[in-house]
Amino acid sequence: MDLANTSLRQLASALHERRISSRELTQAYLERIGRLDGQLGAFITVDPDKTLSQADAADARIARGEAGPLTGIPIAHKDIFCTEGWLTTCGSRMLSNFVSPYDAHVIEKFAAAGALILGKTNMDEFAMGSSNETSHFGPVKNPWNLAKVPGGSSGGSAAAVAARLAPAATATDTGGSIRQPAALCGVSGIKPTYGLVSRYGMIAYASSLDQGGVIAPSAEDLGLVLNTMVGFDTRDSTSIDRPAEDYTAALGQPLKGLRIGLPREYFSGGVSPDVARAIDAALEVYDRLGAERVEVSLPHSQLSVPVYYVLAPAEASSNLSRYDGVRYGHRAAQYGDLNDMYERTRAEGFGAEVKRRILTGTYVLSRGYYDAYYLQAQRVRRLIVNDFREAFARCDVIMGPASPTVAFGFGEKTSDPVQMYLSDIFTISVNLAGLPGLSIPAGFGASGLPVGLQLIGNYFSEGRLLQAAHGYQQATDWHRQVPDMARA
- Catalytic annotation, residues: 78, 153, 177
Q: What is the DSSP string of 262-314?
A: EEGGGSSSSS-HHHHHHHHHHHHHHHHTT-EEEEE--TTGGGHHHHHHHHHHH
Give dist(CA 117, CA 26) in Å, integer: 10
Structural contact between residues 131 and 149, judged by C-beta atoms closer than 8 angstroms: yes
Secondary-structure breakdown of the chain: helix, strand, coil percentages, each rounded to the nearest 5: 45, 15, 40
For 72, what's the count of Cα atoms within 13 Å in the CB-facing half-sphere?
A: 31
Strand partners, 45: 120
Q: How remote is the C-alpha of 200 from its chain's centroid?
A: 17
* Sheet bearing 116-121, strands edge to edge: 43-45, 116-121, 74-78, 169-173, 211-216, 188-191, 437-444, 450-457, 397-401, 259-263, 292-296
Structural contact between residues 260 and 283, judged by C-beta atoms closer than 8 angstroms: yes
Query: What totals of helices (H) and strands (E) does the chain contain, helices first?
Result: 16, 11
Stated length of the chain? 488
Give dist(CA 441, CA 455) in Å, integer: 11
Give dist(CA 167, CA 75) in Å, integer: 7
